[in-house]
A and B are shown apart, each in its own frame.
Chain A
Amino acid sequence: MLGFVNILLGGIAYGFVLFLMAGGLSITLGLMGFANMAHAALAMVGGYTAALLIGKAGWPFFAAVVMAGLTAAATGAILERLLFRRLYQASELEQVLLTIGVVYVAIAAATYLAGPEQMAIGVPAWLDGNLSLGPVDLNRYRLFLIVSGLVLLLSLVRLIEHTTFGAKIRAAVFNRRMTASCGIDVDKLYALAFALGSALAGIGGALSVNLLGLDPNFPIKFLTELLIVVSVGGLGSLRGTFLAAMLFGVIDVVGKYLLPEIGAFIIYATALALLTMRPQGLVGRPR
């Protein structure tokens, strides 16, 4: 029983990691409707930044995580300026192909710059080991991930649904021309939103290195999971993304524990069944 509680917690922690990374994708793909396959590549940029800063330059953990977010945001903003903004009005397929191109370049660049090996990150002492709460021993780092995920969820929901910035984004997505006629600089708004989504990817990538591992194939390995989380949750709904991330985190970890021989089969089957029944997603609005 206690073992199972721990597995469940592991699943929830994994769900929060998924949400940390998918939260940004929920903004760019879900809200802005840009099929950004390079999202996990931006998370990888964050992961490598943090790993190299901590491992090679000896930065403290949190400074490195913040820097990872900034680096990913800068990378995302540059990509948006150079490439992505030309395709906001194009079909999903063109967006997919362009960003897949970015993914391939990113994988090759990461292999060239950091080598094909797995990277690891040292965590600060107070996040290492377990915390005893009565009969249950909880892994501190997982608890930390859960808390970070919750903070992220609450601030994102607040940002998108309760601030002018969020209202402007939603307005621009709903009717770009009308929003522009109201005197809102839509180009700048989109660039900002994109940088924000990328920053979240970078932070998520940096925080998840210890749980997921980091190597040059990261952008493809986790791209599909993130896409599934965002689309099963429902495009444009942060709460849906969160719900789906939890669902998949728990199903994946529990499934791999109970039926290790079928591996990721369970979550793909669940995702397919959910998409078949509710193409608009768990909490999605029909588009």
Chain B
Amino acid sequence: MSDITLDLARMMVVRRARWTPLEIAFWLAAAAGYFLFPAKLVLLTQMLIGGLFAMSLDLLLGYGGIPSFGHAAFFGLGAYAAGLLAVHGWGEPLSGVLFGGLAAGGLGLAFSSVIAKVRGAAVLMVTLCIGLLLFEAASRMPWLTGGDTGLQGIDMWPLLGQFEFDLYGRTAFWYAYVVAFLLYLASRRYIHSPEGLALKGMRENHDRIPMLGVSTARRKMIAFTISATIAGMAGALLAQTTQIVALETLSFERSVAALIMLIVGGIGTLIGGFIGAAAFIWARDVLSALNPVYWMFWLGLILIALVLTARGGLVGALAVVADHLARRGPPR
């Protein structure tokens, strides 16, 4: 590669690393939500956790072009790991989140070499099987996981020894907000590093990357493990803030929901996962209050419409609007 191309590449890295107005707006709006909707804190916390989970999938799918059809396996494993830790006498929240991430990351690492080896539909099938396997395992071990009734008796200690988890979810909200934000920063860092660039390169042209002397298998293994770890931490947050782990955290439907959130928000943007999760969880809250069957019907229709029409999701749509406004310029 010539020097000029390298310089160009470096400039692009710097350019991409700059914060977009949308990212800033999202994190400000999320914080403002605390003050604007004090009665909806539980829902807002779920949006942040859902967003974190969707973002973990985005690292894999949006940047590596690796689809996962069973990502709930990592989310649910993290939830159960953190939940079990607390049930068995260690209710310290931060180490619990790390433990959940570690457990899920370990599973991700174990399967990452298989994922790195296969492509296309086979990836979907392998991840699907991992998800089904964990769901079955959790439902068949009620002595450990509580089976269908879920894991109960999660007793959290005060955060940093100071802040009790209260009934209104105030501590839970800020806790989820800070953890999600820190992991967002870390993910940004990762995708703008050479490691992340190689991942994007693979998505664009899988056959050419090995010719540059980059091992695609290694890059995919790293990405898969990181993604699984973050998904596990999101699951751990859910377990700690709701103080229950339902079997549903491992379900196929939850994996599909994460994919939908990502498509709604915009794949390959990181913030899209959060925006999609907020839209999805809000819509589910409103529609399922009407009737759960109708919710499924609308969910299906929305999904079909999205695949057929929307390219770029909400982030794409918002960018078009922002672009339009910018071009018109400010009024004099």
Contacts and interface: CB of A to CB of B under 8 A. Distances in A.
Interface in A41-97: 83, 86-87, 91-94, 96-97
B35 interface: no
Nearest to A97: B307
A91 B120 CA distance: 9
Interface in B278-332: 293-294, 296-297, 299-304, 306-308
Q: Give chain B's interface residue range (CB within 8 Å of chain A).
A: 35 or more
Interface stretch (A126-134, A164-172, A199-207, A261-269): A261-269
Main secondary structure of the interface of A (DSSP, over half): helix
Interface stretch (B13-21, B128-136, B231-239): B128-136
A97 B261 CA distance: 12
Q: Is the interface of B mostly helix, strand, loop or mixed?
A: helix
Interface in B146-178: none
A100 B257 CA distance: 11
Nearest to A263: B140
B90 interface: no
Contacts of A106: 300
Nearest to A277: B114
A112 B296 CA distance: 11
A93 B303 contact: no
B121 A35 contact: yes
Contacts of A96: 67, 69, 124, 259
Contacts of B260: 97
A264 B117 CA distance: 26
> Which of the four size classes fits the interface of chain A?
35 or more
A275 B129 contact: yes
Interface string B193-205: 0000000000000
A287 interface: yes
Interface string A125-147: 00000000000000000000000
B61 interface: yes
B214 interface: no
5 contacts: A29-B121, A97-B306, A102-B300, A262-B140, A279-B118
